[in-house]
Protein backbone atom coordinates (compact mmCIF):
# COMPACT_ATOMS: atom_id res chain seq x y z
CA UNK A 1 0.00 0.00 0.00
CA UNK A 2 1.04 3.57 -0.63
CA UNK A 3 2.50 5.33 2.40
CA UNK A 4 1.27 8.74 1.31
CA UNK A 5 -1.97 10.66 1.47
CA UNK A 6 -2.87 13.35 -1.04
CA UNK A 7 -6.03 15.34 -1.79
CA UNK A 8 -7.81 13.80 -4.77
CA UNK A 9 -8.08 17.04 -6.71
CA UNK A 10 -7.05 20.68 -6.75
CA UNK A 11 -7.57 23.68 -8.97
CA UNK A 12 -5.08 26.42 -9.73
CA UNK A 13 -5.27 29.58 -11.81
CA UNK A 14 -2.85 29.85 -14.69
CA UNK A 15 0.23 31.84 -13.73
CA UNK A 16 -0.26 31.31 -10.02
CA UNK A 17 1.71 28.98 -7.80
CA UNK A 18 0.32 25.50 -7.35
CA UNK A 19 0.99 24.01 -3.91
CA UNK A 20 0.34 20.30 -3.72
CA UNK A 21 0.45 18.77 -0.24
CA UNK A 22 1.39 15.24 0.74
CA UNK A 23 1.30 13.46 4.08
CA UNK A 24 3.75 10.66 4.80
CA UNK A 25 3.61 10.38 8.56
CA UNK A 26 5.19 6.90 8.70
CA UNK A 27 8.24 7.71 6.58
CA UNK A 28 11.47 6.12 7.74
CA UNK A 29 14.72 7.99 8.23
CA UNK A 30 16.35 6.67 5.08
CA UNK A 31 13.36 6.95 2.77
CA UNK A 32 13.17 9.62 0.11
CA UNK A 33 10.12 11.53 -1.08
CA UNK A 34 9.59 11.48 -4.83
CA UNK A 35 7.16 13.37 -6.98
CA UNK A 36 6.02 12.20 -10.37
CA UNK A 37 3.27 13.44 -12.60
CA UNK A 38 1.19 11.84 -15.32
CA UNK A 39 -0.27 13.96 -18.05
CA UNK A 40 -3.39 12.31 -19.46
CA UNK A 41 -2.41 8.70 -20.22
CA UNK A 42 1.26 9.34 -20.88
CA UNK A 43 3.98 7.63 -18.90
CA UNK A 44 4.64 9.17 -15.49
CA UNK A 45 7.33 11.82 -15.46
CA UNK A 46 9.84 12.37 -12.67
CA UNK A 47 9.66 15.85 -11.15
CA UNK A 48 11.82 16.05 -8.04
CA UNK A 49 12.90 14.13 -4.98
CA UNK A 50 14.30 14.88 -1.53
CA UNK A 51 15.38 13.35 1.75
CA UNK A 52 15.12 16.11 4.33
CA UNK A 53 16.31 19.35 2.81
CA UNK A 54 14.23 21.55 0.55
CA UNK A 55 14.99 21.02 -3.09
CA UNK A 56 14.51 23.06 -6.25
CA UNK A 57 14.99 22.29 -9.89
CA UNK A 58 13.81 23.75 -13.16
CA UNK A 59 10.39 22.20 -12.80
CA UNK A 60 9.43 22.64 -9.17
CA UNK A 61 10.37 23.09 -5.54
CA UNK A 62 9.94 20.52 -2.81
CA UNK A 63 9.44 21.62 0.76
CA UNK A 64 9.78 18.89 3.39
CA UNK A 65 8.77 19.62 6.97
CA UNK A 66 11.39 19.29 9.64
CA UNK A 67 9.76 16.16 11.08
CA UNK A 68 9.53 14.79 7.52
CA UNK A 69 5.92 13.79 8.02
CA UNK A 70 4.67 15.92 5.17
CA UNK A 71 5.85 17.76 2.09
CA UNK A 72 4.62 20.24 -0.47
CA UNK A 73 5.36 20.33 -4.16
CA UNK A 74 5.35 23.85 -5.53
CA UNK A 75 4.93 24.69 -9.20
CA UNK A 76 5.82 28.38 -9.09
CA UNK A 77 3.96 29.56 -12.19
CA UNK A 78 1.45 26.95 -13.26
CA UNK A 79 0.55 26.70 -16.92
CA UNK A 80 -2.22 24.80 -18.66
CA UNK A 81 0.34 22.15 -19.57
CA UNK A 82 0.81 21.41 -15.87
CA UNK A 83 -2.66 19.91 -15.72
CA UNK A 84 -1.94 16.33 -14.66
CA UNK A 85 -2.16 13.80 -11.87
CA UNK A 86 0.64 14.36 -9.37
CA UNK A 87 1.93 11.46 -7.34
CA UNK A 88 3.82 11.77 -4.09
CA UNK A 89 5.78 8.57 -3.43
CA UNK A 90 7.89 7.38 -0.56
CA UNK A 91 10.67 5.17 -1.78
CA UNK A 92 10.79 1.84 0.00
CA UNK A 93 14.54 1.48 0.10
CA UNK A 94 14.90 -2.19 0.97
CA UNK A 95 12.43 -3.49 -1.58
CA UNK A 96 14.28 -2.75 -4.73
CA UNK A 97 13.61 0.18 -6.95
CA UNK A 98 9.87 -0.17 -7.31
CA UNK A 99 7.61 2.85 -6.93
CA UNK A 100 4.34 2.42 -5.08
CA UNK A 101 1.82 4.85 -6.51
CA UNK A 102 -1.16 6.07 -4.55
CA UNK A 103 -4.17 7.78 -6.05
CA UNK A 104 -2.38 11.09 -6.55
CA UNK A 105 -3.79 14.60 -6.86
CA UNK A 106 -5.49 15.62 -10.06
CA UNK A 107 -4.39 19.21 -10.64
CA UNK A 108 -6.47 21.31 -13.01
CA UNK A 109 -4.88 24.55 -14.12
CA UNK A 110 -7.54 26.92 -15.35
CA UNK A 111 -7.16 30.04 -17.54
CA UNK B 1 10.84 11.91 -24.87
CA UNK B 2 12.12 9.81 -21.97
CA UNK B 3 14.36 7.61 -24.10
CA UNK B 4 12.39 4.49 -23.16
CA UNK B 5 10.60 2.87 -26.07
CA UNK B 6 7.70 0.47 -25.95
CA UNK B 7 6.07 -1.53 -28.69
CA UNK B 8 3.39 -1.88 -29.75
CA UNK B 9 1.51 1.27 -28.78
CA UNK B 10 -1.84 -0.43 -29.05
CA UNK B 11 -2.81 -4.06 -28.93
CA UNK B 12 -6.26 -5.53 -29.35
CA UNK B 13 -6.75 -9.20 -28.79
CA UNK B 14 -9.27 -11.76 -27.62
CA UNK B 15 -9.72 -13.57 -24.34
CA UNK B 16 -7.54 -16.62 -23.95
CA UNK B 17 -4.82 -15.28 -26.22
CA UNK B 18 -1.17 -14.55 -25.46
CA UNK B 19 0.68 -11.33 -26.20
CA UNK B 20 4.20 -9.99 -25.78
CA UNK B 21 5.00 -6.41 -24.91
CA UNK B 22 8.46 -5.09 -25.60
CA UNK B 23 10.51 -2.44 -23.87
CA UNK B 24 13.88 -0.90 -24.70
CA UNK B 25 15.40 1.01 -21.78
CA UNK B 26 17.36 4.22 -22.00
CA UNK B 27 20.94 3.78 -23.09
CA UNK B 28 23.01 2.84 -20.06
CA UNK B 29 20.11 1.93 -17.80
CA UNK B 30 20.42 -1.51 -16.26
CA UNK B 31 17.07 -1.76 -14.49
CA UNK B 32 13.73 -2.28 -16.15
CA UNK B 33 10.38 -2.10 -14.38
CA UNK B 34 6.92 -3.03 -15.55
CA UNK B 35 3.77 -1.34 -14.28
CA UNK B 36 0.11 -1.89 -15.03
CA UNK B 37 -2.44 0.91 -14.95
CA UNK B 38 -6.09 0.03 -14.96
CA UNK B 39 -9.07 2.21 -14.14
CA UNK B 40 -9.91 0.41 -10.91
CA UNK B 41 -6.41 -0.42 -9.62
CA UNK B 42 -4.38 2.62 -10.58
CA UNK B 43 -0.64 2.26 -11.26
CA UNK B 44 0.63 -1.05 -9.94
CA UNK B 45 4.18 -2.34 -9.93
CA UNK B 46 4.51 -5.74 -11.58
CA UNK B 47 8.16 -6.73 -11.74
CA UNK B 48 11.72 -5.42 -11.92
CA UNK B 49 14.79 -6.75 -13.67
CA UNK B 50 18.33 -5.63 -13.10
CA UNK B 51 21.03 -6.54 -15.58
CA UNK B 52 19.18 -9.63 -16.70
CA UNK B 53 18.09 -10.91 -13.33
CA UNK B 54 14.76 -10.59 -11.57
CA UNK B 55 15.15 -8.13 -8.72
CA UNK B 56 11.68 -7.51 -7.30
CA UNK B 57 8.18 -8.81 -7.82
CA UNK B 58 4.92 -7.04 -7.19
CA UNK B 59 1.34 -7.90 -7.96
CA UNK B 60 2.14 -9.90 -11.05
CA UNK B 61 -0.23 -12.71 -11.95
CA UNK B 62 1.10 -16.19 -12.60
CA UNK B 63 -0.23 -15.89 -16.16
CA UNK B 64 2.24 -13.05 -16.67
CA UNK B 65 5.98 -13.41 -17.04
CA UNK B 66 8.85 -11.20 -18.01
CA UNK B 67 12.50 -11.39 -18.88
CA UNK B 68 15.39 -9.10 -19.63
CA UNK B 69 17.75 -10.03 -22.40
CA UNK B 70 21.55 -9.55 -22.65
CA UNK B 71 21.05 -6.37 -24.66
CA UNK B 72 18.91 -5.16 -21.70
CA UNK B 73 15.62 -4.94 -23.54
CA UNK B 74 12.74 -6.57 -21.75
CA UNK B 75 9.58 -8.40 -22.69
CA UNK B 76 6.40 -8.86 -20.71
CA UNK B 77 4.41 -11.92 -21.71
CA UNK B 78 0.73 -12.06 -20.89
CA UNK B 79 -1.10 -15.33 -21.44
CA UNK B 80 -4.62 -16.70 -21.09
CA UNK B 81 -5.82 -13.15 -21.32
CA UNK B 82 -8.97 -12.07 -19.54
CA UNK B 83 -11.13 -8.99 -19.96
CA UNK B 84 -9.70 -7.60 -16.74
CA UNK B 85 -6.21 -7.55 -18.19
CA UNK B 86 -7.18 -4.63 -20.37
CA UNK B 87 -4.96 -1.80 -19.18
CA UNK B 88 -2.04 0.46 -19.94
CA UNK B 89 1.27 -1.28 -19.43
CA UNK B 90 4.25 0.94 -18.75
CA UNK B 91 7.89 0.10 -18.79
CA UNK B 92 10.37 2.23 -16.91
CA UNK B 93 14.13 2.13 -16.65
CA UNK B 94 16.74 3.46 -14.30
CA UNK B 95 20.50 3.36 -13.99
CA UNK B 96 20.68 1.52 -10.71
CA UNK B 97 18.51 -1.04 -9.00
CA UNK B 98 18.64 -0.08 -5.35
CA UNK B 99 19.67 2.81 -3.24
CA UNK B 100 18.05 5.99 -2.08
CA UNK B 101 17.89 7.82 -5.34
CA UNK B 102 16.19 6.00 -8.14
CA UNK B 103 14.83 8.20 -10.86
CA UNK B 104 12.77 6.09 -13.18
CA UNK B 105 12.08 7.10 -16.76
CA UNK B 106 8.82 5.81 -18.15
CA UNK B 107 7.98 4.81 -21.66
CA UNK B 108 4.80 5.88 -23.46
CA UNK B 109 3.03 2.66 -22.60
CA UNK B 110 1.21 -0.09 -24.46
CA UNK B 111 -2.56 0.01 -24.35
CA UNK B 112 -3.90 -3.53 -24.25
CA UNK B 113 -7.54 -4.16 -25.01
CA UNK B 114 -8.89 -7.66 -24.47
CA UNK B 115 -12.23 -8.33 -26.16
| Model confidence pLDDT, tens digit, residues B47-76 | 999 999 998 899 899 999 999 999 999 999
Report residue A92's pLDDT band, with 50, 70 and 90 as the boundaries: low
Report residue A51's pLDDT band, with 50, 70 and 90 as the boundaries: confident
Among A32, A91, A101, beta carbon nearest to B42: A101
Residues 6+ apart with CB under 8 A from B40: none
The pLDDT assigned to B51 comes to: 92
Report residue B97's pLDDT band, with 50, 70 and 90 as the boundaries: low
Report residue B98's pLDDT band, with 50, 70 and 90 as the boundaries: low
Q: From B82, B53, B17, B4, select the one nearest A96 (Cα to Cα).
A: B53
DSSP string, B29-87: --EEEEEEEETTTEEEEEEEEETTEEEEE-S--TTEEEEE-TTS-EEEEE-S--GGG-E
Compute the average pLDDT of residues B99-107.
77
For residue range B8-56, what is the model confidence (pLDDT) as tens digits?
999 999 999 999 999 999 998 999 999 999 988 889 999 999 999 998 8
Whether the per-residue pLDDT at A94 is higher than 70: the answer is no
A103 contacts in chain B (CB < 8 Å): 42
Whether the per-residue pLDDT at A97 is higher than 80: the answer is no
The pLDDT assigned to A88 comes to: 96
- Asked if B111 lies within 8 A of A41 by C-beta distance, the reply is yes
Q: Write out residues 55-94 of B within 8 Å (CB-CB) of A.
A: 55-56, 58, 88, 90, 92, 94
For residue range A2-13, what is the model confidence (pLDDT) as tens digits?
789 999 999 999
Residues 6+ apart with CB under 8 A from B39: none
Q: Assess A101–B contact: CB distance below 8 Å, yes or no.
A: yes
Residue A45: its H or E element: strand A45-50
A84 contacts in chain B (CB < 8 Å): none
Distances (CA, A) of B1 to A38, A45, A58, B113: 14, 10, 17, 24
Compute the average pLDDT of residues A88-98.
73
The pLDDT assigned to A60 comes to: 97
Whether the per-residue pLDDT at B99 is higher than 60: the answer is no
The pLDDT assigned to A82 comes to: 97
- Asked if B45 lies within 8 A of A99 by C-beta distance, the reply is yes
Report residue B112's pLDDT band, with 50, 70 and 90 as the boundaries: very high
State the Cα–Cα distance between residues B93 and B32, nearest whole angstrom: 4
- Return left, alpha or beta for B40; rule: phi > 0 is left, psi -120 to 50 is alpha, else beta: alpha
Closest CA–CA distance from residue A93 to any residue of chain B (Å) = 6
- pLDDT exceeding 70 applies to what percent of chain A? 95
Amino acid sequence: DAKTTQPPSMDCAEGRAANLPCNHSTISGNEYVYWYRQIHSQGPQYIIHGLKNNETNEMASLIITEDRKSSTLILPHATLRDTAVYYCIVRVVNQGGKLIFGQGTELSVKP
Amino acid sequence: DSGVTQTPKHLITATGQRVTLRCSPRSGDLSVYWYQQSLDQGLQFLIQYYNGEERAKGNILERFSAQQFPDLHSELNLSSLELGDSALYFCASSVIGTGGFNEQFFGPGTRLTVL
